[in-house]
Amino acid sequence: MLQVGVNGYGTIGKRVADAIVTQPDMELTGVAKTSPNYEAQIAVERNYPLYAAIPEKKDQFAAAGIEIAGEVEELVEQSDIMVDTTPSGIGAQNKELYEAHDTPALYQGGEDADVAETSFVARANYEEVAESGAEHVRVVSCNTTGLSRLTAPIREEYGIEKVRATLVRRGGDPGQTGRGPINDTIPDPVTIPSHHGPDVNTIFPDLDIDTLGMKVPATLMHTHSINMTLESEADAEEVRELLEDESRLFVLSEYLEIDGAGKLKEFAMDAGRPRGDWWENCIWGESITVEGRDLYLFQAIHQESDVVPENIDAIRAVTGLADYEESVATTNETLGIDGRLGHTDRPDREPQPISR
Ligand code: NAD
C-alpha cells in the first residue's frame, strides 16, 4: 500500500484525503494542519492522523483538546508521496522539506508552474508524466483542468486552430466569507489574456488559446463561455457524442432543466455526492453549437472538486502504481464518476438507478 500524506487540510486537502482513503492501493498516512479548527475536528472524527503543520503552533491543538500524531516533518518521513494542498505560494516553500526527505510531492494550481518539473491533467498527459520520472508535479488549477479536459478530445478528433474562452469566475469558495465582489462584475484581470491561457499551455504547449477572466458575486462554480475554431468541419451532434464518451465530462441533457450552478449543486447533493461535489466538467448539451468550423459551448466547473480525481491519478503517475487506463478507472469507480448520472437521460439508453 502506498503511503500518502496530505499537507494543508482545507478546501482541496480535505477532499483529496477523503478520496485517498477510498483507494484500494493507497493509505492515508495523515494530514497536516496549521490550527485546530472545525476541519481538524472532522479529521479527528474520521480517524485521520493529524500532524501540526507549524510546530510552534502545536500547543493550540492540545489547548483545544485535539490530539495530534506529531509534526509535519514526521508525516513527510512516513509518506511515500506528499500531496501539498496549502495556499498559493506555501507549496513552493514546503518543497525544501519534501526534497530533504527525498519524498516526491504534488503541488496545486495556485503555485507557479516552475515549482514542479511538470504540470498534470490525467486526460492530457498522464503517460508522459509517468514516463518522465518527474517527482515534483503540479496538478493545474480548477479552470485549467476544466479547459484541458475539454480540449483533449476535441483536439484529437478535429484539431484546434484557436481557443477563445471567457471565464466567469466565482468570487470565492462558500467558506471564503471575506472574498468578493459582493455587488459587482469585475474584469479580472482586466488585461488580456488572463493567466489561464498560458497555464493551459503548460499542458498543451502548442495550443493557440486566449482567455479572458471575470469575477462575479457567486460562490458555487465557475462558468466558461467557450469558442474553439476547429481545423476540420464538425457536426454539433457528433461533438456532443464525443464529449459524452469522456468520463470526466458530464453533458447535461435538456430535460434535466438545469439552468445554472445552483441546480447543479442541488442535483449533486440529491444524488448523494459528498459535499455536492462535481468532479466532472458540466457542459450544457444544448449549448453545443457549430457554425462552420466554430464550436461554441458553456461549461460549469466546480472549483472545489474537479482537481480531486486529478490528484489521485497524479499520485499513481508519479509513483508508477498504475497506467493511465487503470488509474482513471479506479479513481472514477471509487469516487463514483461512473457516467450514470450524465447518461441515464439519453432516450436511447436504459434508465438506471442513481448511485449513492
Ligand atoms: P484553503 O485555504 O481552503 O486550504 C489550505 C489549507 O492549508 C488551510 O487549511 C490552511 O490553514 C492550511 N495552511 C496554511 N499554511 C500552511 C502551512 N504552512 N502548512 C500546512 N498547511 C497550511 O486553500 P485551497 O482552496 O484548498 O487551495 C489550496 C491550493 O489548491 C492552492 O494552490 C489553490 O490555488 C489550489 N486550488 C484551489 C481551488 C479552489 O477553488 N479552492 C481549486 C483548485 C486549486
The pLDDT of residue 353: 54
Q: Which residues contact 251 (CB under 8 A, 6 or more apart)?
A: 240, 243, 244, 283, 285, 288, 342
Tell whether ligand 1 has an atom less than 6 A from the beta carbon of residue 143: no
The pLDDT of residue 14: 98
Taking only the tens place, the pLDDT of each residue in 70-106 is 999 999 999 999 999 999 999 999 999 999 999 999 9
Please say whether the dihedral angle defined by the alpha carbons of residues 265, 155, 225 and 11, taken in this order, is positive or negative: positive
Tell whether ligand 1 has an atom less than 6 A from the beta carbon of residue 194: no
Per-residue pLDDT band at 356 (split at 50, 70, 90) = very low
Residue 247 in this model has a pLDDT that exceeds 60:
yes
129 vs 287: CA distance, rounded Å:
33
Residue 320 in this model has a pLDDT that exceeds 90:
yes
The amino acid at residue 46 is R
Overall average pLDDT of the 10-20 stretch: 98
The pLDDT of residue 346: 44
Please report, for the chain, the start and end positions of each structural domain, with discontinuous segments joined by +. Answer: 2-140+307-335, 142-301
Beta strands in 68-208 (DSSP E): 70-71, 81-84, 105-107, 118-120, 136-139, 160-170, 186-187
Overall average pLDDT of the 152-166 stretch: 98
Tell whether ligand 1 has an atom less than 6 A from the beta carbon of residue 145: no
The pLDDT of residue 339: 73
Overall average pLDDT of the 196-217 stretch: 98
Overall average pLDDT of the 217-225 stretch: 98
Overall average pLDDT of the 236-259 stretch: 97
Question: In whole angstroms, what separates CA 1 from the centre of its chain?
Answer: 24
Closest CA to 22 of 50, 56, 54, 48: 48
7 alpha carbon – ligand 1 mean position (Å)? 9
Probe ligand 1: pick from 18, 42, 85, max atoms within 8 Å of CB?
Answer: 85
Q: Grid coordinates in use for 223?
A: 462558468
319 phi and psi angles, rounded to 5 deg: -95, -5
Residue 293 in this model has a pLDDT that exceeds 80:
yes
The pLDDT of residue 338: 81
**CATH fit for domain 142-301, picks 3.40.50.10490, 3.30.360.10, 2.60.40.3680, 3.30.565.10:** 3.30.360.10
Architecture of domain 2-140+307-335: 3-Layer(aba) Sandwich (3.40)
Q: What is the DSSP string of 197-231?
A: HHHHTTTSTT--EEEEEEEES--S-EEEEEEEEES
Residue 344 in this model has a pLDDT that exceeds 70:
no
Taking only the tens place, the pLDDT of each residue in 136-149 is 999 999 999 999 99
11 alpha carbon – ligand 1 mean position (Å)? 6
